[in-house]
């Protein structure tokens, strides 16, 4: 029997998958939940945007810190 995943567990898996691959059972359960839960699909899209933005800032080279130093 398939047990419906709670939104709290789905959110935990959405976050977890950004750091490490999910197991097969976790992926299938999350996919099934996302197929039925619109708020969680929206949350998942937000996680994806935040993850991409975070990687964008990590990829930018550091600005020359001497330009930001206070001037006397």
Q: How far apart are CA 13 and CA 15, in angstroms?
A: 5
Average pLDDT over residues 23-34: 95
pLDDT for 47-67, tens place per residue?
999 888 877 677 666 654 455
Check if the beta carbon of residue 20 is closer than 8 Å to that of residue 52.
no
Q: Are residues 40 and 10 in contact, defined by beta-carbon separation less than 8 angstroms?
A: yes
Q: What's residue 43's pLDDT? A: 96
Q: Distance between CA 7 and CA 39 in Å, rounded? A: 9
Average pLDDT, stretch 18-44?
95
Locate the domains of the chain by residue range. Answer: 7-57
At residue 3, the 3 state secondary structure works out as: coil
């Amino acid at each position: 029997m398939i047990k419906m995943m709670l939104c709290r567990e789905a959110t935990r898996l959405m976050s977890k998958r950004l750091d490490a691959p999910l197991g097969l059972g976790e992926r299938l359960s999350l996919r099934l939940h996302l197929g039925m839960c619109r708020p969680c699909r929206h949350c998942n899209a937000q996680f994806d945007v935040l993850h991409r933005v975070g990687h964008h800032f990590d990829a930018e080279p550091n600005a020359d810190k001497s330009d930001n130093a206070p001037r006397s």
